[in-house]
A and B are shown apart, each in its own frame.
Chain A
Amino acid sequence: MRPAAVTAADLQAGTELPGRSVPVDRQRLLDYADASGDQNPIHQDEQVARRVGLPDVIAHGMWTMAAAVEVVTDWVGDPGRVVSYQTRFTQPVVVPADGGALVEVTGRVTAVDRQAARATVELQVTSAGQRVLGRALAVVDLG
């Protein structure tokens, strides 16, 4: 691993990570469908999405989860330092054909274990003013 860009000794719970805004459009969802193998049509076809009661095409929850953790990876400097990551999917990210959507991600350190050189980051992830991920927690290895 690369040396961590942050050290556990200097880190305090409550530290805010630099946030980011991530645009997502239909092409991005097709790219993710191809890369991940998840070809569920609710992420591609608005008629199918509406038929199952959704307002429009929605992003793969797994796309949103992956896009959000970039805030953590950027901050720590090495994706291999993310040792665990979990979330609940609370609201879908609705992706209209025209203009797509924006996902806003911020992160905050909620716990630092100096002995184990690990920190827990909680992500706040919203789109169109709604929280789309719940209890999104990443643990990073700072050793």
Chain B
Amino acid sequence: MGVNTAFQGRSYPPTEPYLVERSHVAAFADAVGAGSDLHRDPEAARAAGYADVVAPPTYAVVVAQRCDAQLVQDPEAGIDFSRVVHGSQAFAHHRPLVAGDRVVGTLHVDTVREAGGHAMVTTRSELATPEGEPLCTATSTIVVRGQS
């Protein structure tokens, strides 16, 4: 069964709020080798004008992946996760994510295209506070490799 192109254009309801925690920002920064004290030291972050420690530039993927899961794990979408390769990723930050932020994500399936036996799926997660302040637009394209 191939990827279901009828999913193109589909949008999902906002996810439950995801709380950005200090300890998780530090663990993510450690895992990617992000050295800034602004990821770990709340005093340094406040001195720089932030409400709390600042998440690394790609941290938003943690929430975006949760958004994408709504599509990828939907059997109707026909996406075999073991054949998925990440093709591209983009983040447009509307403001930096900081610890204490509660983040809701709204998933949009922008394109579903089949070409040469593979399928390319582009999703866009609009991340915002529950009050509606925009935080980040995360765009991802996955390639679902066909059976060769």
Could you tell me if B61 and A80 are in contact, using CB atoms closer than 8 angstroms?
no
Stretch of A7-15, A61-69, A93-101, A111-119 that contacts chain B:
A61-69
Cα(A82)–Cα(B60), bound, Å: 13
Nearest CB of chain B from residue A57's CB, rounded to whole Å: 14
Task: Tell me which residues across on chain B come within 8 A of A65, comparing CB atoms.
Answer: 58, 89
- Cross-interface CB contact of A66 among B58, B66, B148, cutoff 8 Å: B58
Chain B residue with the shortest CB-CB distance to A40: B81
- Cross-interface CB contact of A85 among B39, B55, B57, B65, cutoff 8 Å: B57
- Cross-interface CB contact of A84 among B30, B33, B34, B90, cutoff 8 Å: B90
Could you tell me if B61 and A70 are in contact, using CB atoms closer than 8 angstroms?
no
Chain B residue with the shortest CB-CB distance to A88: B88
- Convert B36-80 into 0s and 1s, putting 1 for each residue whose CB lies closer than 8 angstroms to a CB of A: 101100000000111000111110011001100000000000000
Cα(A82)–Cα(B85), bound, Å: 26
Could you tell me if B92 and A89 are in contact, using CB atoms closer than 8 angstroms?
no
Q: Point out which of B81, B90, B139 has the most chain A C-beta atoms below 10 A from its C-beta.
A: B90
Nearest CB of chain A from residue B124's CB, rounded to whole Å: 13
Cα(A60)–Cα(B66), bound, Å: 16
Could you tell me if A83 and B93 are in contact, using CB atoms closer than 8 angstroms?
yes
Say whether, besides A28-B31, A84-B90, A85-B91, A79 and B61 are in contact (CB < 8 Å). Answer: no
- Cross-interface CB contact of A70 among B27, B31, B33, B65, cutoff 8 Å: B33
Cα(A48)–Cα(B84), bound, Å: 13
Say whether, besides A66-B56, A78-B38, A83-B92, A88 and B31 are in contact (CB < 8 Å). Answer: no
- Cross-interface CB contact of A62 among B27, B58, B139, cutoff 8 Å: B58
Could you tell me if A84 and B32 are in contact, using CB atoms closer than 8 angstroms?
no
Could you tell me if B93 and A82 are in contact, using CB atoms closer than 8 angstroms?
yes
Could you tell me if B38 and A85 are in contact, using CB atoms closer than 8 angstroms?
no
Say whether, besides A35-B27, A65-B89, A70-B33, A79 and B65 are in contact (CB < 8 Å). Answer: no
- Cross-interface CB contact of B32 among A34, A63, A80, cutoff 8 Å: A63
Task: Tell me which residues across on chain B come within 8 A of A109, comparing CB atoms.
Answer: none
8 CB-based A-B contacts, threshold 8 Å: A1-B49, A38-B65, A65-B89, A67-B32, A74-B35, A79-B36, A79-B96, A80-B38
Could you tell me if A84 and B91 are in contact, using CB atoms closer than 8 angstroms?
yes
Cα(A31)–Cα(B27), bound, Å: 8
Say whether, besides A36-B65, A52-B83, A66-B34, A79 and B91 are in contact (CB < 8 Å). Answer: no
Task: Tell me which residues across on chain B come within 8 A of A82, comparing CB atoms.
Answer: 57, 93
Nearest CB of chain A from residue B114's CB, rounded to whole Å: 19
- Cross-interface CB contact of A1 among B24, B48, B88, cutoff 8 Å: B48
Could you tell me if A34 and B27 are in contact, using CB atoms closer than 8 angstroms?
yes
